[in-house]
Amino acid sequence: AAGVIQSPRHLIKEKRETATLKCYPIPRHDTVYWYQQGPGQDPQFLISFYEKMQSDKGSIPDRFSAQQFSDYHSELNMSSLELGDSALYFCASSLGKGNQEEAFFGQGTRLTVV
Amino acid sequence: AQTVTQSQPEMSVQEAETVTLSCTYDTSESDYYLFWYKQPPSRQMILVIRQEAYKQQNATENRFSVNFQKAAKSFSLKISDSQLGDAAMYFCAYRSWYGGSQGNLIFGKGTKLSVKP
């Protein structure tokens, strides 16, 4: 069965650079969530989208932005990268906005800022 | 705001034995979901088991079962017949029942489970 695809799997950037992470949800899933997991930390919710509209916002820095496109894939854009942005970024998708359907996670993108 | 607490940063179990991981949560909502996720060294987040708060019956998935105590706001995970492949970080998570903007998961800090051969 198709799963959530995230690209790239690994990314190394320098401070002050920009990064774009991509998430391709499971086919027919219309909701996407982004989470950030720092080293040794629990995942923290960043932002979510439902039907191409921002649904909810968590602890996402102003330097980050995201959107969901017409094909439901989502991109997380990160600018002016800081060392503290080094983390594993998860995308999850589900069918429907916060309903009974569970969210399936991608394998994550490991971002290292040097 | 909802919070999830896992008071055991690390646990260890002998292969084939049983281990219980603890989780407590705080919420003012009456309907919600609770989950246990497993994160092995590969860092993939894998759903282990879920519980709907309105269900009194504890969820069970093969060797994994929960003890859900709604009044006490407790949601522990029991792993029976532990296997080496169970070694991982386990996260307890909460999700609001209602639609709208409450679909995101709130995670605990995790419990690192080691399985000894």
Question: Contact B99/A102, CB-based, under 8 Å?
Answer: no
Exposure of A76 by Cβ count < 10 A (0-12 exposed, 13-18 middle, 19+ buried)? buried
Cβ contact B94:B2 at 8 Å: yes
Cβ contact A69:A23 at 8 Å: no
Measured CA to CA, the distance from residue B46 to residue B40 in angstroms comes to 8
Boundaries of domain holding A65: 5-113
Question: Contact B105/A33, CB-based, under 8 Å?
Answer: yes
Residue at token pair 């800081």: A82
Query: Which of A26-48 are b and which e, b meaning 16 or more Cβ less than 10 Å from the residue's Cβ?
Result: beebbbbbbbbbeeeebbbbbbb
Question: Contact B43/A108, CB-based, under 8 Å?
Answer: yes
Long-range contacts of B98-101 (CB under 8 A, 24+ apart): B98/A98, B98/B29, B98/B31, B99/A96, B99/A97, B99/A98, B99/A99, B100/A55, B100/A97, B100/A98, B101/A48, B101/A55, B101/A56, B101/A97, B101/A98
Residues pairing with A5 in the sheet:
A24
Per-residue pLDDT tens over the stretch A64-114? 999 999 999 999 999 999 999 999 999 999 887 655 567 889 999 999 999
Measured CA to CA, the distance from residue B51 to residue B35 in angstroms comes to 6
Per-residue pLDDT tens over the stretch A37-72? 999 999 999 999 989 999 888 989 999 999 999 999
Cβ contact B99:A98 at 8 Å: yes
Out of A100-104, B5-9, B89-93, which region has the weakest mean confidence (pLDDT)? Answer: A100-104
Q: For chain B, what is the mean pLDDT?
A: 93
Closest residue in A to B5 (Cα) is A42
Q: With an 8 Å Cβ cutoff, is A41 touching chain B? A: yes
Domain count, chain A: 1
DSSP conformational letter for A84:
G
pLDDT at B99: 54
Q: With an 8 Å Cβ cutoff, is A73 touching chain B? A: no
Where residue B98 falls among pLDDT bands split at 50, 70, 90? low
Question: Contact A56/B103, CB-based, under 8 Å?
Answer: yes
Residue at token pair 């709604």: B70
pLDDT at A94: 87
Classify domain B3-98+105-116 at the CATH superfamily level.
Answer: Immunoglobulins (2.60.40.10)
Q: With an 8 Å Cβ cutoff, is A8 touching chain B? A: no
Residue at token pair 């991608």: A106
- Which residues on B lie below 8 Å from A92 (Cβ)? 45, 105
Q: With an 8 Å Cβ cutoff, is B44 touching chain A? A: yes
Measured CA to CA, the distance from residue A82 to residue B36 in angstroms comes to 31
Measured CA to CA, the distance from residue B58 to residue B50 in angstroms comes to 9
pLDDT at B21: 98
Give me the total of CB pairs closer than 8 Å, taking one residue from chain A and one from chain B: 71
